[in-house]
Amino acid sequence: MKIFFTVITLIISPLLLNAQGNSVKMKIKRKLVWSDEFNYKGLPDSTKWGYEVGHVRNNEPQHYTRKRLENCRVEDGLLVIEARKEKFDTSAYTSASIMTLGKKTWTYGRFEVRAKVPKGLGVWSAFWMLGENRQAVKWPTCGEIDIMEFVGKDSSQVYGTIHYADSTGTYKYHGEKPVVGAPYDDFHIYAIEWTKDQIDFYYDELKYFSFDLKKSKKGNENTFQKKFYLLLNLALGREGTLGGKLDKSIVSSKYFVDYVRVYQ
């Protein structure tokens, strides 16, 4: 059973000085402004999620399908994204990637997922964000926030990464990949705290990376002070990509999501 509060208190500010000159931390209350608790059955809620379709990026082997229960469904209170070894169109593998583009975008807030990642060489699950202006300005100019990436070849680690183009148009990225044990053994919370000044990355209660938004400033603009949308997907790897070589003996791989929540 899922129990949560619609208002949370988060410490997100720098130290301030009180009347006596002692440092204190300012607390800011945030409200739950959007969520999917997956307390239903069938396809993902179409008012919240759309689909990426086909071979979308990195020359990955999977074909992302649309509204196909075999690859993306809600059952037993969980979203299940399943990558399958099967012939589909011209592909040998299928999977799903769902997104909020065209449904909902945000600037700043706490974005979190409670999920259980799959295990196996070549699996590549993610919870991430892209700039809403991606079609107009292309990647990496639109910006990318990888709240969580898990790849089977690095099975004791998770990745949190920022991607963008600097003022000269040069691709830049910053991130960390903490060793956390065996994240595929259980559900964990993957989250960011995003303000106008920085983005902090969390694995459960562990804050393992902070990105200073001054680094992504371009004149009077900043890539990460604009609207972004959410994505959940299960990709498969290939040589030369972060996902790495795929174990071709894997017939099916499942990525389980308990909830997605956005607080502002």
In whole angstroms, give the CA distance from residue 207 to residue 116: 19
Respond yes or no: is residue 86 known to be catalytic: no
In whole angstroms, give the CA distance from residue 28 to residue 71: 39
Catalytically annotated residue among 82, 132, 149, 193: 149
Respond yes or no: is residue 37 known to be catalytic: no
Which tokens in the block code for residue 122?
A: 């070549």
The helix (H) or strand (E) run that includes residue 100 is: none
The helix (H) or strand (E) run that includes residue 146 is: strand 144-151
Q: What share of the chain is helix, strand, coil (3-state, %, to 5)?
A: 5, 55, 40
Catalytically annotated residue among 60, 144, 176, 239: 144
Nearest CA to 238 among 9, 55, 45, 54?
55
Residue 154's alpha-carbon distances to 120, 178, 184, 218, 259, in angstroms, are: 10, 10, 11, 34, 24
Size of the chain, expressed as the number of residues it contains: 264
Q: Which residues are catalytic?
A: 144, 149
